[in-house]
Every structure is written in structure tokens, then in C-alpha cells.
Structure 1
Amino acid sequence: MEALTPSMTPAHDTHDLHATTLRRGTLSAGFITLLVISAASPLSVVAGGFPIGMLMGNGAGTPVLVLVALGLLLMFAAGYTAMATCVTSAGGFYAMVARGLGGRAGGAAAMVAVFGYVTLQFGLYGLLGAVTAETLQAQFALHVPWWACSFAAMLSVGCFGYRQIDFSARVLAVFVVVEYLVVLALDVLILAKGGASGIDLHSFSPQAFTSGNPFVGLLFCFAAFIGFEATTIYSEEAKDPKRSIPVATYAALLLVGAFYSFSLWCLVLGAGSDRVVATIAALADPTNLLYLLSDTYGGPGLTVLLRLMFIASIYAGLIAFHNSTARYFYAMGREGLMPARLGWTHARHRSPHVASVLQTVLCVVAVGLFALFGADPVLTQFAWLSNLATLCLLLLMIGTAVAVVRFFAADAHGHGRMRTHVMPVLSCLGLLLVLGLAVANFHVLTGASRAISLALVATVPIAALAGWLSAARLARRDPVRFAGLGQDRS
């Protein structure tokens, strides 16, 4: 039986109709903030991504690069949140692009979003499996294949995605609070003991900022914020979307940005401002920097706790991204860009359960293939796919910034020109620069050959083309439904 189109769906559900609405009035601004902070996986970024970023970028100057990335994202958020007060849809970027640039562009954005979030999950499962297997071996002398850990995580993440969203939010709240407290405890210990050679502000000096390769470092900093943009995806389930989404967006950006910059400064002090790059380079695995400093300043007990919270941070990110991706699939199924079944919601949980099951299956297949071919779960699976997801996000943000300007061109809806035009244009120019740097340095970021890097980059426009063609088919088949793409669902 086919799902009903939104215009045909009655206000209440009956036994012979499939539900197509999400659970309304469920999430407060605080819960939405926790969901998107979890997607950013702050501890996994501080422990895993930033040591490599400092090594390949500008070393001790990385805390300033975090603030530069934060400033650019805050400019983007000005127009993004303004449009969020006018567009309430689980489609997120897709809905905004569709409203500002038309249905075909919206279809392209939807497919790029799904592709980016799904590939990021593939990569994170590789990282989670590898880190969990390493911890089990180091702490308990248990040899478990990385892919077995990944599959176990998939099963539980899929269960969270199948249930009510507030259930996931409560679980994530615990993870987020604990991981912040553990890292901040290490930060305080480093400051209390004066670091390796005293407290200094060298990280914030012009010399540190311009040292090494700040452009590559900036790319790592930007990638660290992936997940903040997911606030609008939960707008249909928010208690007060017109207020909750802007508040959650700014809160997530400022909390994550401040945490990154402060914690990185403390790590630099812990290793020594003049020795941090050499210290990281001397490690067999750069991601062990956090554990080295933890052993030095907090002892082995804190290190074990950090290892466990590193795993929990990645796991929390997977739950958050699973929920985000399910809502993109749901929005595309509901509006005719993908099979209608994806637009069904669970009769009791009001969750996009069909979309949730689909992406769990996709993750099983993808991770299974990587394991079958013996690919390295971190250096190949995670490095390639997480950077590919970053390209997708950059492209989506650029498209959304342009859509904001077009959307408010005829009617500012009470917002000032600075928020609806100036900030979106400036952020678009900055994001275009970052995208260019990312494409030019993609082989550096992934560690892959130039040929493989080019092939990976090419998948992004292919995904966009697939989405464009899907929307074009809908326009020919059902013009009325096509005209409603991205419409407000409040």
C-alpha cells in the first residue's frame, strides 16, 4: 500500500493508514543542543583529529585556527538560523535549498546530504571498531576483530534510531556531560601543574598562527565542527522550533568552539609550546598524545577513563548522525524524491523507522565490504570517508548560504539586511575558499593517491546530479508535489 502524500494525510492516524508525521513537541533547545554536540564528538576530535591536524598544520597555533573556523561558522549561522525561523522541516539543508533555489537544486542538496552523512557513518564505524578492539586488547588482553565491534555497535545504534528521539537524546546527554568533564579535568590538571614549561599564550601569537601550514590546519578545524548544522533537522520535533533551532545552533557552536580552543591550548601547554609538534611526531600513533599527557598529569586511571570515553564519544556521534540521516531519508521519501516507504513513521514511537532500518543495512554492507577486502579501518575507511563527508557539508553550506540570500530577497520576514544578505554572502565566500583548499589538499588529508583522491572527490557531484535528476523526474510525474518540495511542516 502506498504512503499518502502530505496533502492527503489526515490529521489523525487510522489502523489502515501508515503514519507519516514525526513526534511533535518532543525536543527542547537543550536536547537539540546535546544531539548536535554529540554529532561533533568533541572528545574523539580532541583525541583523534586535532593531534594529526597540529602535526600537519601549524602546531601550537591550532587553537587560533579553531576560533577562525568558529567565526566563519557563526557568520553562516546568522542567515541559517534566520531562515530556520521561516522553514520548519526535517529536510534541513535540503528544505532550505529547495525553498531558496528551487526543487531541482533541493533534490541535489538532499542527495549530497544523505551521501555525506551515510559515508561519515561508514568511516566512524571503522574508527569505533579499531579503537574498541585496541582498548579491549590493551586493557583486558581480549583479541576481538575490529569489524565485530563495529557490527555490535550498529545493532544498538539501530535500536536507538528505531525508538523515540527523546530516548536517544537522554542517552546522549549522559555521554556528552561525562566526556566534557573528563577532558576538562585533564585541562585543569595541566594548568594546575604549569604545563611542561609554564603557562604562556604563545598559541595565540602571530608567529604560531603563521607557522607550518595553517591552511591544512584550518581544514582539520573546520571538519571538527561537523554536526552543528543538524539543528534544523529536528525542527519538526522541537517544542518551539522558531526559538529552539536558533538557540541550539548558536549554543552548540559556541560550546564546541570554546571547548576545542581551550582544550587544545591546554594540550599544547602540556606538551610544551615549543615541543608539541616534535612530541606528536615522535609518537607511533599521533592520537596517543592525549593519553601521553593523561599519564603524565593525571595518572593511568585517568588514561583508562579517557580511552573508554573516547569510544563513548564516537558511539554518541554515531547515534546522532544515525538520527540525522534517518530524517533526511524520511523527508525525501515523504516528498517523493525516494521510495514512499522511507516517509513512513512508527505508529507508536513516531520515529522514521523504515529510514532507520535502511541506513543500518547500508552500514552493515559497507563495513562488511571494507572488512572483507582487508582495508585499514582508520587510515583508509575513516580517513577517506570522513574527509569525503566534509566536502559534502561544505558544498551544502555554500548552497544554503546562496539560498538564504535568494529566499529573503523578496521578503526579509522582519530580519535585518546584515543577517539575510551580508553575513550569508561573506560566509559563502569564506566557505568557497575552504572548499577549494579541501579539494586541492584532499590527497594530503586522506593519505590516498592523487588518482584515488580524484575518484573520491568525483562522487560528490555525481550524488548531486542523481538528486537533481530525481527531482526532475518528480517535476514531470507530479508537478503539484514537486512545487511543494521543502515546504514548511510546522
Structure 2
Amino acid sequence: MTALSRAIADPRPVHGLAARSPLAGLDRRSLGFVDVLGQSVGAVAPSAAAATCPVLVATRAGSGTLVAFLLAGVLMAIVAGAVNQFTRRLAATGSLYTFAAKGLGVRAGFATSAAMLTGYGFVAMFALLGAAYYTLTLLAHAGMRGAVSQLPVVVLLAGFGGLCFLVLRRGVRLSTRVTLVIELLSIVAVLALIAVLLSRVPAAEFWRVAVPHGVSAAQLAGGTTVAVTAFVGFESAATLGAESRRPFATIPRTIRWTVIASGVLYLLSAYTQLAGFDAFGGTLAASASPVNDLAARAGVDGIGLVLDAALACSFLACALASTTAFARVLFSLGREGIAPRALGRTHGRFRTPHVALAVGVVIEVAVPAALVAVGLDAWQAMGVIVVCAAAGYITAYAFVCVATPLFLRRIGELTLAPAVAAAVGAAGLVAVLAADLWMEATGTRALAVALLGAVAAIAWLLYAVCRRTRPRALSRIGLFDEATAEDVLGGTP
């Protein structure tokens, strides 16, 4: 008998382990790499971002669009590195707010949780609206006049929200795999259009748009700010830390490659769209629907319609992934006792946070429905909501970057490289957030800044209430999954 066989047959007792994980009730150690990858890819929705974000960046950066995407990609890669300093060491359903709490303490942890709920919640609203908008656009192309109006948008919002709840209630494995399949098919549709355009655009046009000209630093900063929003959500795999089979290997790998692959797709899409408009006439920034315009000018209208269908599915996949993350943050806060404890319950059969899911879906449907009801059309409401989502994500990322060196120093593993990278990331994120809020406050979407102000006021009020009524729960913020007696050979409570 080998030493390994003897150790398995008669293991030495390992004392001091808990009988239950703080996150017991979830389906621990059940998700593989494909499931975790589906979560991050769905939250980013790279196909939808590749089709819609270049025009938004071009309205601010002009010919500097490619440089803006490149700068945003570098910044997000730095942030991903900071996040992975934690994901290699902690498996936490609370994800970024748990990480911030471990590095910066209770107040920063609570603020980060509010920022995460803002980011995930508003992106889910944006995605539900996007799914409704592109579905109705397809119906309008099919001859249904007046399809894109208030009542159909609200009805589809409610329908898609209910579908998300039914899918997510049955288990995260189903939702992540559906999400990954949808996104891969949507990416194929985007790449097909790109391939057609590349074959029909003269080579000289590609060289012409590769180099920016007449772009100021302010324009480039504005474009980079918008480009950052195309990457947000890449870290959402970390919310599955307790449910992942090998979290310390799978989650860092997923986060890293989601950022890299998305960045490559965005650069390729933006490059093709810029060259296409330069070759066929017109400007990218002036187009209301660039992929459809380019498909029509290239003589392949059918691909544009297929892409509209793919985008509707991609937005729905993004709603699934963002709701998954939103519900798990609520679940973690409920389990800690900071939020109502009912949010910390799990379904007896499916082992999903069904109460948190129900609350999340109601919020995600109610807010955009209210915006549409007061007179905004679906596209205008999406523009307001995405500003709120981006501000939430960027704030959470900034807190984690600041927390990284402090956490590493606390555990005795601080080195120069991650400290410098985290400082650069934090400075870049603060600059991006400040520029974004200033441009929106002085532009046409001041409503978004007002909404963010209201969210911040509510978060501050809730923190004050928690300090007075739940100080013990607040002091426990940042629970993470721990090894239990049944996880270890010879483990005893």
C-alpha cells in the first residue's frame, strides 16, 4: 500500500474545521469551467457590445475610437489583475464587496456592495430593455407598425423578467450554459458580418482609419470612458465562488480571458465599422443603427436582420447573467444579516437563492417600466440606465483596486508589481468616473446623474440604519466560503 493509499484509508484527524460553510444552502462545488465562463461572458454580452458600443465611442472620440478601446482594454486588464489577487485566495458569493471589506474594512465593504447592486441591477435593466427593443425592431421590420411603443415594451419587459426568474430559479448551471450558447451564436453572427465587410472594403481604407487624426485629449478621454462600459461585468464569475468546483483556478482564468477576448472582438468590430463607413460613405458617429446600415450598403441586408435577432438573444443572456450576480450579492448580504434574512434563503430542491432572485427581477422590471411610462422611449431609457450601471461598476472596481495592496500587506504577500498596478488602476478608474459624471451632468442625460444621487442617498441611509440596528451583522460583512469537515480527509468539526 502506498503512502497515498494509507492516507486515504486511514487519514490523520484534522481538527478545527466548521461543520457548515457560512454560505451553506447553495450548490457548493458543482460548477465547472464552462458554467463559470458562461456567467462572465453573459454579463459582458460581448456580441451586443461589439455591435452597439463603437458608435457610442465614435460620437466622442471620432477617429480616436480604436485608441479609446485599446486604452479601456488595458485599464480593464489592470483591474482584472487586481480582482484576481482576491479570487486566487477567497471564494466569495459577495465577490467585490467581500474583497473590499477584507482590504479596507466595513464602510468600504458596504459602499462596494451598494455599487455592485447598482452595477448589476442597472445592467440587467439595460439588458431587458435591449432584448425588448431589438425584438420589437425585428417585428417592425416584419411590417408591424407601431411595434416599438410604450405598451409592447412594458409587456416584453415583464415577460422577459419572468422568463429570467423561471430559468434562474431552476439552477445556475442551466442559465450559464444557455447564456454561453446564445453568446457564442451571437458572436458568430457578428464575425460573419465583419468577414463580409472586410472582403468588400478596399485595403487602403483600413490603413486610413487605423491612425487617429484631429482628436483632442478630452475627446479621447470621453471615448475611453464609454469604451470602459463595454467590459463591465467580466468579474461576475467571482459571485459563483462558492458554487465553482475549482474556484481558485477557474475563476481567475475566466476573468482574465473574458477581458482579453472581449477586447480583441471590440477592436476588430470598431475597426471594421470605421473602415466600412469610410469606404461606403457616411460616418460611424452619425449612424443610428451602424450594423444594419453597413449590411445594407454592403448588399447583405439579411445578415443585418439576423444580427438584430442575435442581439435580442444576447441582451436576454446578459439579463440572465446580471440577475444571477445581482441575486447572489443580495443573498450574501442576507446571509450576513445586513439585508433582510429572507434574502439569504435558498430553494430546498434547486439550491438557488430564490427569494433574492424574485426581489431582483421585480426591481429590474419596475425601474425601466417606470422610465418608459413617464415618456422615455426604449432607446432613451437604455441610455440613462447604462450610465448608472457604468458608475456602479467603476466605483466597485476602484474600491477593489485600492483594497488590493492593503489586503496583500495584511496577509504578508505584498510585492511591488501588484501594488503599482492597483494604484494605476484606481487612478484611471477615478478619472474615468469623474469624466463620465461630468459629461452626463452637463449633457442630455442629467436624469442618470440624478438617479445615481438618489441611489447614493438610499445607500447612505441604509448604512446609517445598519450601524444603529445591526452593528454585529455589519461587523461580519465579507463572509466567504470556508472548508468544512466533509471537504477534508479526516476533517472533524
Q: Same fold (TM over 0.5)?
A: yes
Q: Does 1:232 align with 2:227?
A: no
| Residues 261, 208 of structure 1: alpha-carbon distance in 2 compared, 3 angstrom cutoff | farther
Aligned ranges for residues 60-79 of structure 1 at < 5 Å? 60-79=63-82
- Letter of the structure 1 residue corresponding to residue 370 of structure 2: L
Aligned to 2:123: 120
- The answer (yes or no) to whether the contact 1:104–1:469 under 8 Å persists in 2 is no
Tell me how far apart the structure 2 counterparts of residues 226 and 487 of structure 1 sit (CA, whole Å).
Answer: 24
1:81 to 80, 84, 99: 84
Q: Does 1:423 align with 2:421?
A: yes
Post-superposition shift, 1:252? Answer: 0.4
| Residues 78, 276 of structure 1: alpha-carbon distance in 2 compared, 3 angstrom cutoff | farther
Aligned to 1:155: 162
Aligned to 2:45: 41
| Residues 184, 47 of structure 1: alpha-carbon distance in 2 compared, 3 angstrom cutoff | same
- The answer (yes or no) to whether the contact 2:118–2:388 under 8 Å persists in 1 is no
Tell me how far apart the structure 1 counterparts of residues 372 and 219 of structure 2 sit (CA, whole Å).
Answer: 34
Tell me how far apart the structure 2 counterparts of residues 191 and 201 of structure 1 sit (CA, whole Å).
Answer: 13
Aligned to 1:188: 195
Number of equivalent positions:
463
- The range that moved more, 356-365 or 86-95, is 356-365
| Residues 274, 217 of structure 1: alpha-carbon distance in 2 compared, 3 angstrom cutoff | farther
Give the match's secondary structure for 2:242.
Answer: helix
Aligned to 1:398: 398
Tell me how far apart the structure 1 counterparts of residues 221 and 89 of structure 2 sit (CA, whole Å).
Answer: 35
Q: Cα deviation per residue 1:292-324 (whole Å; 9 max; x = unaligned)?
A: 112233612212211101111111111110101
Tell me how far apart the structure 1 counterparts of residues 244 and 469 of structure 2 sit (CA, whole Å).
Answer: 29
| Residues 230, 245 of structure 1: alpha-carbon distance in 2 compared, 3 angstrom cutoff | same
Tell me how far apart the structure 2 counterparts of residues 304 and 453 of structure 1 sit (CA, whole Å).
Answer: 31
> Unaligned regions of 5+ residues in structure 2, if any?
1-15, 483-493
Tell me how far apart the structure 2 counterparts of residues 368 and 199 of structure 1 sit (CA, whole Å).
Answer: 43
Aligned to 1:307: 308
Question: What is the root-mean-square deviation of aligned Cα atoms in Å?
Answer: 2.6
Aligned to 2:460: 465
- Letter of the structure 1 residue corresponding to residue 445 of structure 2: A
| Residues 280, 103 of structure 1: alpha-carbon distance in 2 compared, 3 angstrom cutoff | closer
Aligned to 1:326: 327
Q: Cα deviation per residue 1:93-145 (whole Å; 9 max; x = unaligned)?
A: 11011111112321222122213322332333333322222211212537542
| Residues 188, 337 of structure 1: alpha-carbon distance in 2 compared, 3 angstrom cutoff | same
Aligned ranges for residues 441-452 of structure 1 at < 5 Å? 441-443=439-441, 447-449=444-446, 452=447
The TM-score, its normalising length taken from structure 1, stands at 0.87
| Residues 63, 30 of structure 1: alpha-carbon distance in 2 compared, 3 angstrom cutoff | farther
Tell me how far apart the structure 1 counterparts of residues 280 and 211 of structure 2 sit (CA, whole Å).
Answer: 13
Q: Cα deviation per residue 1:48-107 (whole Å; 9 max; x = unaligned)?
A: 3321321x2122331221111111111122221011122211101110111111123212
Aligned to 2:31: 27
The TM-score, its normalising length taken from structure 2, stands at 0.87
Q: Does 1:95 align with 2:116?
A: no
Tell me how far apart the structure 2 counterparts of residues 232 and 95 of structure 1 sit (CA, whole Å).
Answer: 10
Give the match's secondary structure for 2:27.
Answer: coil
Give the match's secondary structure for 1:345.
Answer: coil
Aligned ranges for residues 369-384 of structure 1 at < 5 Å? 369-379=370-380, 381-384=381-384
Give the match's secondary structure for 1:201.
Answer: helix
Tell me how far apart the structure 2 counterparts of residues 305 and 475 of structure 1 sit (CA, whole Å).
Answer: 52
| Residues 220, 442 of structure 1: alpha-carbon distance in 2 compared, 3 angstrom cutoff | same
Post-superposition shift, 1:280? Answer: 4.2
Post-superposition shift, 1:240? Answer: 0.7
- The range that moved more, 263-272 or 122-131, is 122-131
Tell me how far apart the structure 2 counterparts of residues 353 and 454 of structure 1 sit (CA, whole Å).
Answer: 31
Post-superposition shift, 1:210? Answer: 4.5
The percent of aligned pairs where both chains have the same amino acid is 21
Tell me how far apart the structure 2 counterparts of residues 180 and 201 of structure 1 sit (CA, whole Å).
Answer: 25
Post-superposition shift, 1:458? Answer: 1.7
- The answer (yes or no) to whether the contact 1:116–1:392 under 8 Å persists in 2 is yes
- Letter of the structure 2 residue corresponding to residue 176 of structure 1: E
- The answer (yes or no) to whether the contact 1:123–1:386 under 8 Å persists in 2 is yes
Post-superposition shift, 1:271? Answer: 1.2
Tell me how far apart the structure 1 counterparts of residues 466 and 257 of structure 2 sit (CA, whole Å).
Answer: 34
Post-superposition shift, 1:393? Answer: 1.1
Post-superposition shift, 1:192? Answer: 1.6
**Higher CA-based Rg:** 2
Post-superposition shift, 1:467? Answer: 4.9
- The range that moved more, 186-195 or 200-209, is 200-209
Post-superposition shift, 1:470? Answer: 4.9
